[in-house]
């Protein structure tokens, strides 16, 4: 008899089943039960039954033969065996109770144990459950681990189309069990056949299955064994997904940790539904499930399998699954109806050999099916063409080149012209199709991420996976682009988007600025040659500008301000050319407006590592307002410009905060009004929630600056709560952490002011001062630990290091003022050392210098104070700010006084006060004004 792989696998599976049965049911009377089990497992196939019995006999004889020839005594039974064997024998499982359940009958035996039908025995309520039990005395830790994992997976998956986990635990004998919702249904393909479902009904049913799988994927679970036997349909027509016994939880670290069950031969999955990567033992992703769904859909639509796998060896099986195209569904054996071309395309896309060529998500597969049902064009067909064209070119590259030569020698011959046309056409179509594919990729990238962000708290892990996948895809395509302009542009844009995801601090990002800069330089390397070749290629120019903006934003976020400004100015120059014509599209104008806003930030935004050039910043901001108004002139409902106006009002307010806090407060309040007038849909995005929070924080800053401390506390508190919520939702989200840090820092500063002398509220009691100090110290301490978390993610961020060092000095000093036990002094010393190190750099920003000077004047213990150092910092700060920043003069005045140069202090204070507008009637003095005036004292 010639054995085949399929029958060999079957034989092996049944063999193990029977041995398991024997091990679990030791003792007399097993023989008959065993024979029954074998009959059942072999579905009455007489040849198979004979073979199994012969094999089991051979097994016994082999053991005896080995034992009788063995020269070394056989090892004793493993510890624990004896004890298990001594279970009361008369009691069969069939009558047993497991937890609150009474076993009714055996439903079947599976790879890891048995499944029983049971009902609740405590009479609480009628409920039938399927109990899955590991009752193998020899169950390995691996089995147990897998079982635990299944339980963990199921507990997290509550979906109407996934069989529910009802209960689970350990029996008194120490066996693990799961109680599952019992599905009285039939496998999906049988259901379709029995009920003679129409094609439309089948597609609808399949879509429901996709929903369940998509849901699992969103929870980072890959099923890995999708097949009809695991998808039962109840009589009411609702499907249920079962058996997550081979499922896997995806983790961002995809390497095998030794507990990976994929490399366990064929026992872990079903070859007919297995993807190429599965049979090859390569890493499994959600795309493997997409493939299995493709096989399932193939079966439901054609009632045949995509491959004839019956009589094959393992090697042959692997070869067919990995290399042969699926049978054309239209020609599938036994099928007289031709399948619609769109459906065929959908099947082929799901069944691609390369995971990256398949639908990126199950949702996309579902969308295509819905589009088909609605009569819309399906995505798969575009992909099919691109795929075929690329394949054709790859296969025929040599032939085509030869043909080109042939065409030349035939000069004007008709054949030559035809050949050339065909080659050119192929190339062009290949490029077109690729662009379509890329756009699809970029779109799906963004929508997928949006979904991930909204639906999965802690989604950063998913994003990382996705980014890696997309980057591989892009690198492959870039290597293949061969100077095709449209493809190069699309690729560059895709790299830019990716860069922004990786590390642009202006957006939700993965905290990987270096990765972002690398992607961005790939983008620039692709476009720059196009712009050089044709300076009037406006599309290329725009791509380049986009890339430069992202590059600049990433650089700014990491504290490399001068490089950032240079990049942003280059972008602005390109954009100015693009919007020069009066016919420039409104979207582009809106975009350029925002870019000017970013330029302004880098030039002179306060509280960041900007260049400190207020005047230049305000000029850029005014340009933004102008452009937003121009855009609204064209389209009064252009939301982006409205939002842009709100943002720029806020930014102008920030720039004026020091010089004119009263005006600035008005700016913030009108920014909030503009924002609140936006449509609800627009306001509910995470970005806008964050923005509103930021505006309120600024409003609180302004209230504080005008001396309205009482009002500012309430507002700070409100904002801090909102930020804390956002940060809690995704602890991986760096941006949420950094927002929270900013608000904590501001709030701490307010308490600090109130605890000080110059800005103390009138009639402040000593007790109040004490309370303010405690609040301030607590908030600064929270900042320090937040920075610890942030710096762990990006240890090179200079902005965070300086702020953390300052907060350390504050915590150290305040706790000494409070006469607290503990080592405040050494914390102060540590912070001071960092600040001095950072300020010593020649390119230290205004922010670094301002923190350093202040710390050097206020630090406790007093011996750490360093007025000459503070003075040097203040002088550099004033120069960097082009002698336009009042707080710079305040720094100069305070350090001069501390260094004993009272005259110089007076002069600096006067210079600073001259920058402030004359007080308007009825308005109090601002914070900076009060502080500067205080420096006029003798």
Interface with another protein by CB under 8 A: which residues? 3-5, 8, 11-12, 15-16, 19, 54-59, 61-62, 65-72, 138, 140, 142, 256, 263-265, 313-315
Q: How far apart are CA 602 and CA 607, in angstroms?
A: 11
Question: Taking the complex as a whole, how short is the minimal distance between the CB of residue 72 and another protein, in angstroms?
Answer: 5
User: Alpha carbon of 811 to those of 738, 855, 857: distances in Å?
Assistant: 19, 11, 15
Question: Taking the complex as a whole, how short is the minimal distance between the CB of residue 77 and another protein, in angstroms?
Answer: 14
Q: List, in order, residues 6 or more apart from 875 with CB less than 8 Å away.
A: 892
Q: Which two tokens stand for residue 304?
A: 């045949």
Question: Taking the complex as a whole, how short is the minimal distance between the CB of residue 738 and another protein, in angstroms?
Answer: 40
Q: How far apart are CA 91 and CA 757, in angstroms?
A: 85
Considering beta carbons, is residue 2 or 196 the nearer one to another protein? 2
Q: Which of 558, 562, 650, 664 is nearest to 880 (CA)?
A: 562
Considering beta carbons, is residue 63 or 158 the nearer one to another protein? 63
Question: Taking the complex as a whole, how short is the minimal distance between the CB of residue 258 and another protein, in angstroms?
Answer: 8
Question: Taking the complex as a whole, how short is the minimal distance between the CB of residue 690 and another protein, in angstroms?
Answer: 46
Taking residue 222's Cβ as centre, other Cβ atoms within 10 Å add up to 22
Considering beta carbons, is residue 17 or 437 the nearer one to another protein? 17
Considering beta carbons, is residue 54 or 406 the nearer one to another protein? 54
**H helices then E strands: how many in the chain?**
35, 11
Q: How far apart are CA 410 and CA 402, in angstroms?
A: 12
User: Alpha carbon of 368 to those of 199, 216, 239, 364, 912: distances in Å?
Assistant: 15, 20, 20, 6, 65
Q: How far apart are CA 835 and CA 828, in angstroms?
A: 11
Q: How far apart are CA 843 and CA 192, in angstroms?
A: 72
Buried b (16+ CB within 10 A) or exposed e, 94-133: eebebbbbbbbeeeebeebbbbbbbbbeeeeeeeebbbbb
Question: Taking the complex as a whole, how short is the minimal distance between the CB of residue 499 and another protein, in angstroms?
Answer: 34
DSSP string, 248-314: EE--SS-S--S---TTSGGGGS-GGG--HHHHHTPPP-HHHHHHHHHHHHHHHHHSS-SS--TT--H
Question: Taking the complex as a whole, how short is the minimal distance between the CB of residue 140 and another protein, in angstroms?
Answer: 4
Considering beta carbons, is residue 3 or 626 the nearer one to another protein? 3
Considering beta carbons, is residue 7 or 238 the nearer one to another protein? 7
Residues 595 and 575 sit within 8 Å (Cβ to Cβ): yes
Q: Is the peptide bond before 861 cis (omega within 30 degrees of 0)?
A: yes
Q: List, in order, residues 6 or more apart from 458 with CB less than 8 Å away.
A: 729, 730, 731, 732
Starting from the edge strand earliest in sequence, which strands make up the sheet with 239-241, in order? Answer: 185-187, 231-234, 239-241
Q: How far apart are CA 263 and CA 277, in angstroms?
A: 11
Q: Which two tokens stand for residue 461?
A: 């892990």
Q: How far apart are CA 307 and CA 628, in angstroms?
A: 59
Q: Which of 190, 217, 218 is nearest to 205 (CA)?
A: 190
Question: Taking the complex as a whole, how short is the minimal distance between the CB of residue 391 and another protein, in angstroms?
Answer: 24
Considering beta carbons, is residue 257 or 336 the nearer one to another protein? 257
Considering beta carbons, is residue 72 or 398 the nearer one to another protein? 72
Considering beta carbons, is residue 259 or 721 the nearer one to another protein? 259
Q: How far apart are CA 452 and CA 192, in angstroms?
A: 34
Question: Taking the complex as a whole, how short is the minimal distance between the CB of residue 276 and another protein, in angstroms?
Answer: 17
> Torsion-angle region of residue 381: left (phi > 0), alpha (psi -120 to 50) or beta?
alpha
> Torsion-angle region of residue 469: left (phi > 0), alpha (psi -120 to 50) or beta?
alpha
Considering beta carbons, is residue 54 or 193 the nearer one to another protein? 54
Q: Which two tokens stand for residue 884?
A: 């336009």
Question: Taking the complex as a whole, how short is the minimal distance between the CB of residue 16 and another protein, in angstroms?
Answer: 7
Q: For the chain, give the longest Cα–Cα distance.
A: 112
Considering beta carbons, is residue 143 or 772 the nearer one to another protein? 143
Considering beta carbons, is residue 58 or 533 the nearer one to another protein? 58
Question: Taking the complex as a whole, how short is the minimal distance between the CB of residue 8 and another protein, in angstroms?
Answer: 5
Question: Taking the complex as a whole, how short is the minimal distance between the CB of residue 252 and another protein, in angstroms?
Answer: 22
Angle, alpha carbons 302-312-293 (nearest 5°): 35
Question: Taking the complex as a whole, how short is the minimal distance between the CB of residue 35 and another protein, in angstroms?
Answer: 18
Question: Taking the complex as a whole, how short is the minimal distance between the CB of residue 148 and another protein, in angstroms?
Answer: 16
Angle, alpha carbons 869-875-879 (nearest 5°): 145
Question: Taking the complex as a whole, how short is the minimal distance between the CB of residue 24 and another protein, in angstroms?
Answer: 15
Considering beta carbons, is residue 53 or 904 the nearer one to another protein? 53
Question: Taking the complex as a whole, how short is the minimal distance between the CB of residue 567 and another protein, in angstroms?
Answer: 43
Angle, alpha carbons 298-301-302 (nearest 5°): 80
User: Alpha carbon of 656 to those of 235, 711, 722, 876: distances in Å?
Assistant: 70, 20, 26, 22
Considering beta carbons, is residue 317 or 646 the nearer one to another protein? 317
Give 397's DSSP letter.
H
Taking residue 774's Cβ as centre, other Cβ atoms within 10 Å add up to 16
């Amino acid at each position: 008899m010639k054995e085949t792989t399929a029958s060999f696998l079957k034989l092996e599976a049944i063999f193990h089943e029977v041995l398991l049965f024997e091990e679990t049911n030791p003792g007399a009377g097993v023989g008959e039960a065993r024979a029954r089990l074998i009959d059942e497992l072999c579905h009455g196939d007489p040849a198979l039954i004979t073979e199994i019995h012969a094999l089991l006999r051979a097994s016994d004889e082999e053991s005896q033969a080995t034992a009788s020839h063995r020269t070394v005594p056989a090892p004793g039974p493993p510890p624990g065996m004896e004890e298990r064997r001594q279970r009361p024998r008369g009691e069969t499982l069939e009558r047993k109770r497991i937890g609150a359940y009474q076993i009714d009958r055996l439903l079947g035996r599976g790879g890891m144990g048995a499944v029983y039908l049971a009902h609740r025995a405590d009479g609480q309520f009628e409920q039938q459950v399927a109990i899955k039990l590991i009752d193998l005395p020899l169950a390995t830790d691996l089995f147990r681990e897998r079982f635990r994992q299944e339980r963990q997976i199921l507990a997290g998956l509550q979906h109407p189309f996934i069989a529910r986990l009802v209960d689970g635990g350990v029996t008194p004998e120490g066996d693990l069990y799961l109680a599952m919702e019992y599905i009285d249904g039939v496998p999906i393909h049988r259901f379709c056949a029995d009920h003679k479902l129409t094609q439309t009904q089948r597609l609808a049913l399949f879509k429901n299955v996709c929903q369940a799988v998509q849901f699992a994927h969103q929870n980072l679970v890959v099923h890995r064994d999708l097949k009809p036997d695991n998808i039962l349909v109840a009589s009411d027509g609702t499907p249920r997904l079962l058996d997550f016994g081979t499922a896997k939880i995806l983790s961002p670290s995809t390497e095998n940790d030794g507990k990976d069950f994929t490399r366990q031969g064929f026992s872990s999955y079903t070859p007919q539904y297995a993807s190429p990567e599965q049979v090859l033992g390569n890493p499994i992703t959600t795309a493997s499930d997409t493939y299995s769904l493709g096989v399932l859909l193939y079966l439901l639509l054609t009632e045949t399998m995509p491959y004839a796998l019956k009589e094959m060896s393992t090697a042959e099986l692997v070869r067919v699954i990995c290399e042969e195209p699926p049978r054309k569904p239209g020609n599938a054996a036994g099928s007289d109806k031709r399948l619609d071309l769109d459906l065929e395309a959908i099947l082929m896309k799901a069944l691609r050999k390369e995971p990256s060529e398949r639908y990126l998500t199950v949702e996309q597969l579902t969308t295509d099916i819905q589009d088909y049902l609605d009569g819309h064009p399906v995505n798969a067909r575009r992909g099919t063409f691109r795929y075929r064209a690329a394949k054709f070119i790859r296969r025929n590259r040599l032939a085509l080149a030869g043909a080109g030569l042939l065409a030349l020698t035939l000069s004007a011959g008709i054949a030559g012209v035809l050949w050339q046309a065909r080659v050119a056409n192929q190339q062009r179509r290949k490029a077109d199709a690729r662009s379509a594919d890329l756009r699809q990729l970029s779109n799906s990238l963004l929508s997928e991420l949006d979904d991930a962000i909204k639906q999965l708290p802690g989604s950063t892990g998913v994003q990382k996976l996705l980014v890696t996948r997309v980057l591989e895809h892009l690198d492959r395509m870039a290597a293949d682009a061969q100077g095709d302009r449209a493809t190069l542009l699309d690729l560059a844009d895709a790299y830019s988007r990716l860069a922004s995801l990786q590390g642009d601090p202006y957006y939700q990002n993965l905290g990987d600025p270096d990765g972002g800069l690398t992607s961005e330089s790939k983008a620039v390397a692709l476009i720059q040659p196009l712009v050089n070749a044709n300076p009037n290629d406006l599309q290329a120019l725009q791509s380049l500008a986009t890339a430069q903006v992202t590059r600049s934003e990433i650089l700014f976020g990491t504290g490399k301000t001068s490089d950032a400004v240079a990049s942003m100015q280059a972008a602005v120059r390109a954009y100015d050319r693009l919007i020069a014509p009066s016919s420039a599209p409104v979207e582009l104008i809106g975009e350029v407006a925002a870019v000017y806003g970013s330029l302004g930030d880098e030039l002179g935004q306060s509280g960041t590592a900007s260049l400190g050039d207020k005047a230049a910043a305000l000029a850029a901001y005014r340009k933004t307002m102008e452009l937003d108004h121009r855009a609204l002139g064209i389209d009064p409902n252009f939301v982006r410009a409205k939002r842009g106006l709100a943002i720029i009002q806020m930014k102008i307010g920030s720039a004026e905060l020091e010089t004119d806090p009263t005006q600035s407060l008005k700016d913030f309040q009108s920014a909030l009004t503009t924002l609140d007038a936006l449509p609800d849909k627009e306001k509910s995005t995470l970005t806008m929630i964050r923005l509103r929070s930021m505006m309120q924080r600024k409003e609180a800053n302004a209230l504080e600056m005008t001396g309205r401390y009482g009002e500012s506390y309430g507002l700070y508190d409100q904002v801090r709560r909102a930020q804390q919520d956002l940060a809690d939702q995704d602890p991986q989200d760096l941006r949420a952490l950094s927002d929270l840090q900013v608000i904590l820092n501001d709030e701490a500063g307010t308490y600090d002011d109130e605890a000080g002398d110059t800005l103390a509220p009138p009639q402040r009691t000593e007790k109040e001062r004490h309370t303010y100090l405690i609040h301030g110290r607590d908030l600064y301490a929270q900042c320090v630990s937040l920075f610890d978390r942030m710096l762990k993610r990006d240890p090179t961020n200079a902005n965070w290091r300086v702020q953390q060092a300052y907060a350390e000095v504050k915590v150290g000093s305040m706790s000494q003022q409070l006469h607290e036990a503990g080592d405040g002094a050494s914390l102060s010393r540590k912070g001071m050392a960092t600040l001095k190190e950072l300020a010593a750099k020649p390119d230290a920003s205004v922010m670094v210098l301002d923190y350093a000077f202040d710390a050097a004047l206020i630090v406790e213990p007093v011996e750490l104070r360093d007025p000459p150092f503070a003075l040097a910092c203040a002088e550099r700060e004033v120069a960097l700010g082009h002698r336009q920043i009042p707080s710079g003069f305040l720094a100069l005045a305070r350090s001069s006084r501390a260094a004993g140069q009272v005259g110089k202090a007076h002069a600096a204070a006067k210079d600073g006060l001259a920058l402030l507008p004359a007080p308007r009637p009825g308005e109090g003095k601002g914070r900076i004004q009060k502080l500067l005036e205080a420096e006029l004292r003798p």
